[in-house]
């Protein structure tokens, strides 16, 4: 590396730390979170709030740097915002939910926090991911501080329990996955991800694992039993039904349809004509594979969603073989998935009629922009974590190098547009906190691979998974190694 380049990188990093410092929100004199973006050049809308999902990468960085107080304050304050009583009013947030975001307000000199559960958000979207990220973060805090006593406090035990109750409640469908509305996660706009989108299933899995580690069994036997029951079923279901590689595509291509009863192989009655199978045939590398975006009745969304795939590796939801295959796919399809800015939120974009129908003509989500296959620097930390986990660190190193050539100079945009991610996002905020922390965290994870333990999980006992699969999958060919 040239000396000039080294200096630029050092400057980029220093600028990133300064920008992160400036993003911290104080409440009653204590640091409690970070704003989504500190961009004075444009109207704040809700970017001056602390979003739960956005704060995760800030929190992990703070934990690594020993600034655990901010994370503890955040966990305590957000827990207070969680509704504890059953609400009969449909316009009130359900018991157990954690808000999408919060901000500090002042009344008569008295500061208080106002939460947004989606009732203020554009299109009134529900933040299903917040409560899942909250549990994942609580565990990361316990691991980083080597102190589970916060998680063991009665209020925290109750908070975890309420989240588990809302996730594990009986619903109308009989899938182990979570049925959710559109735009309930990082993609918080209509993008055709209602039903059983990968991102939320993976976060659900990681939250179940984290809750299982933190819940004190006494008094929670019912929830613990429900988690133990759900985990292997969910894991088997995702590994089997969401997996796409060339072998699986071959099987799907020759699927029979309209199968009735217990011996059905094509369980969800997927019609191959609904899939872009010729494009996939061309796009799928010989060895790579990935988890599909969504699976439901006669529905297989074959778009590649980055957060779900990377978190599936990190949380050990994907098998070792699948994890390697996902990384191989990223390597082989680098231009499509990473290009000039790591990395695409999903691929490919919805275009033409599909864009119009699925997004509702959303001008922010035009093809190759924002949620519709834009490039999001925050995803870099997950790429780094997945690279460390699969020992494919050359991929993250290359991605970081690409990003640091531009991110600082471009003032940390929220996202980039274009097929290769060369254009600063049309409506992207500058000084977007999770773009800053996505970069910093990726560097930290690469320098200290042991930090991965904050967010990763070990394998579920294989007997548990195979038992569950026998029970659920019946006569389908085994895709679980």
Single out the residue of 358, 376, 378 nearest to residue 425, CA to CA. Answer: 376
The number of beta carbons lying within 10 Å of the beta carbon of residue 251 is: 13
Q: Closest approach of Cβ 370 to ligand GLC, in Å?
A: 8
Q: Closest approach of Cβ 188 to ligand GLC, in Å?
A: 5
- Among residues 77, 116, 182, 188, which is the contact residue for ligand GLC, using CB under 6 A? 188
Instruction: State which residue, 36 or 136, has the beta carbon closest to ligand GLC.
Output: 36
Instruction: State which residue, 186 or 469, has the beta carbon closest to ligand GLC.
Output: 186
Which residues, other chains included, contact 145 with Cβ-Cβ below 8 Å and sequence gap of 6+?
A: 63, 68
Q: Give yes or no for residue 36 binding ligand GLC (CB under 6 A).
A: yes
**SS3 (DSSP) at 201:** helix
Stretch that binds ligand GLC, among 50-58, 67-75, 286-294, 359-367 (CB under 6 A): 50-58
Q: Give yes or no for residue 64 binding ligand GLC (CB under 6 A).
A: no
Instruction: State which residue, 99 or 236, has the beta carbon closest to ligand GLC.
Output: 99
Instruction: State which residue, 54 or 336, has the beta carbon closest to ligand GLC.
Output: 54
Q: Closest approach of Cβ 408 to ligand GLC, in Å?
A: 19
Q: Closest approach of Cβ 186 to ligand GLC, in Å?
A: 4
Stretch that binds ligand GLC, among 47-55, 111-119, 163-171, 396-404 (CB under 6 A): 47-55
Instruction: State which residue, 48 or 444, has the beta carbon closest to ligand GLC.
Output: 48
Single out the residue of 394, 386, 381, 382 nearest to residue 441, CA to CA. Answer: 381
Q: Give yes or no for residue 54 binding ligand GLC (CB under 6 A).
A: yes
d(CA 385, CA 398): 14
- Among residues 38, 51, 175, 431, which is the contact residue for ligand GLC, using CB under 6 A? 51
Which residues, other chains included, contact 174 with Cβ-Cβ below 8 Å and sequence gap of 6+?
A: none
Q: Give yes or no for residue 295 binding ligand GLC (CB under 6 A).
A: no
Q: Closest approach of Cβ 419 to ligand GLC, in Å?
A: 20
Q: Give yes or no for residue 116 binding ligand GLC (CB under 6 A).
A: no
Q: Give yes or no for residue 344 binding ligand GLC (CB under 6 A).
A: no
Q: Please name the residue ranges forming H helices in 185-268.
A: 198-214, 221-241, 246-253
Instruction: State which residue, 95 or 120, has the beta carbon closest to ligand GLC.
Output: 120
d(CA 433, CA 47): 10
Q: Are strands 30-34 and 416-417 parallel, antiparallel or unpaired?
A: unpaired
- Among residues 53, 161, 344, 443, which is the contact residue for ligand GLC, using CB under 6 A? 53
- Contact between 408 and 226 under an 8 Å Cβ cutoff? The reply is no
Q: Give yes or no for residue 301 binding ligand GLC (CB under 6 A).
A: no
Residues counted in the chain: 481
Q: Give yes or no for residue 411 binding ligand GLC (CB under 6 A).
A: no
String of b and e for 132-160 (b: at least 16 CB within 10 Å)?
Answer: bbbbbbbbbbbbbeeebebbeeeebbebb
Q: Give yes or no for residue 186 binding ligand GLC (CB under 6 A).
A: yes
Strand ranges for 85-220 from DSSP E: 101-107, 110-116
Classify residue 406 by burial, with Cβ atoms within 10 Å: 0-12, 13-18, 19+. middle
Instruction: State which residue, 121 or 206, has the beta carbon closest to ligand GLC.
Output: 121
Stretch that binds ligand GLC, among 46-54, 70-78, 141-149, 458-466 (CB under 6 A): 46-54
String of b and e for 432-467 (b: at least 16 CB within 10 Å)?
Answer: bbbbbbbbbbbbbbbeeeebbebbbbeebeeebbee
DSSP 60: H
Q: Give yes or no for residue 39 binding ligand GLC (CB under 6 A).
A: no
Q: How many residues bind ligand GLC (CB under 6 A)?
A: 6
Residue with CB nearest ligand GLC? Answer: 36
Instruction: Provide the β-strand partners of residue 245.
Output: 289
Q: Residue numbers of the site for ligand GLC (CB under 6 A)?
A: 36, 51, 53-54, 186, 188
């Amino acid at each position: 590396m040239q000396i000039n380049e080294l200096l630029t990188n050092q400057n980029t990093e220093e600028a990133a730390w300064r920008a992160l410092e400036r993003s911290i929100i104080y409440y009653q004199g204590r640091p409690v979170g970070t704003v989504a973006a500190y961009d004075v050049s444009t109207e704040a809308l809700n970017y001056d709030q602390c979003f739960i999902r956005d704060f995760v990468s800030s929190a992990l960085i703070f934990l690594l740097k020993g600034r655990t107080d901010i994370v503890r304050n955040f966990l305590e304050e957000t827990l207070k915002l969680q509704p504890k009583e059953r609400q009969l009013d449909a316009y009130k947030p359900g018991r157990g939910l954690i808000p999408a975001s919060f901000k500090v307000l002042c009344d008569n000199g008295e500061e208080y926090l106002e939460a947004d559960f989606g009732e203020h958000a554009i299109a009134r979207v529900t933040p299903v991911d917040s409560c899942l990220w909250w549990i994942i973060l609580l565990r990361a805090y316990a691991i980083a501080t080597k102190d589970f006593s916060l998680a063991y406090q009665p209020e925290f035990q109750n908070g975890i329990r309420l989240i588990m109750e809302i996730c594990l409640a009986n619903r109308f469908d009989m899938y182990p996955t979570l049925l959710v509305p559109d735009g309930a996660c990082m993609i918080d706009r209509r993008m055709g991800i209602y039903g059983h989108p990968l991102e939320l299933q993976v976060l659900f899995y990681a939250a179940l694992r984290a809750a299982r580690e933190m819940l004190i069994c006494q008094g929670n036997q019912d929830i613990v039993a429900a988690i133990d029951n759900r985990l292997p079923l969910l894991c088997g279901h995702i590994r089997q039904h969401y997996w796409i590689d060339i072998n699986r595509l071959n099987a799907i291509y020759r699927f029979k349809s309209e199968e009735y009863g217990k011996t059905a192989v094509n369980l969800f009655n997927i019609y191959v004509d609904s899939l872009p199978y010729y494009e996939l045939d061309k796009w799928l590398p010989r060895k790579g594979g990935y988890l599909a975006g969504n699976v439901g009745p006669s529905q297989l969304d074959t778009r590649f969603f980055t957060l779900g795939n990377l978190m599936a590796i990190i949380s050990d939801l994907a098998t070792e073989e699948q994890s390697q295959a996902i990384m191989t796919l990223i390597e082989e399809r680098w231009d499509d998935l990473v290009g000039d800015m790591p990395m695409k939120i999903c691929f490919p974009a919805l275009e033409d009629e599909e864009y119009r129908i699925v997004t509702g003509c959303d001008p922010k989500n035009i093809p190759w922009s924002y949620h519709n296959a834009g490039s999001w620097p925050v995803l870099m930390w997950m790429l780094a974590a997945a690279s460390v986990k699969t020992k494919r660190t050359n991929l993250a190193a290359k991605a970081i190098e690409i990003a640091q050539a531009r991110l600082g100079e471009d003032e940390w945009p929220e996202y980039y547009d274009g097929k290769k991610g060369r254009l600063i996002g049309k409506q992207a905020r500058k000084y977007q906190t999770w773009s800053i922390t996505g970069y910093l965290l990726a560097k930290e994870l690469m320098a200290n691979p042991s930090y991965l333990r904050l967010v990763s999980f070990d394998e579920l006992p294989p007997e548990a998974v195979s038992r569950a699969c026998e029970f659920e999958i019946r006569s389908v060919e085994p895709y679980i190694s």
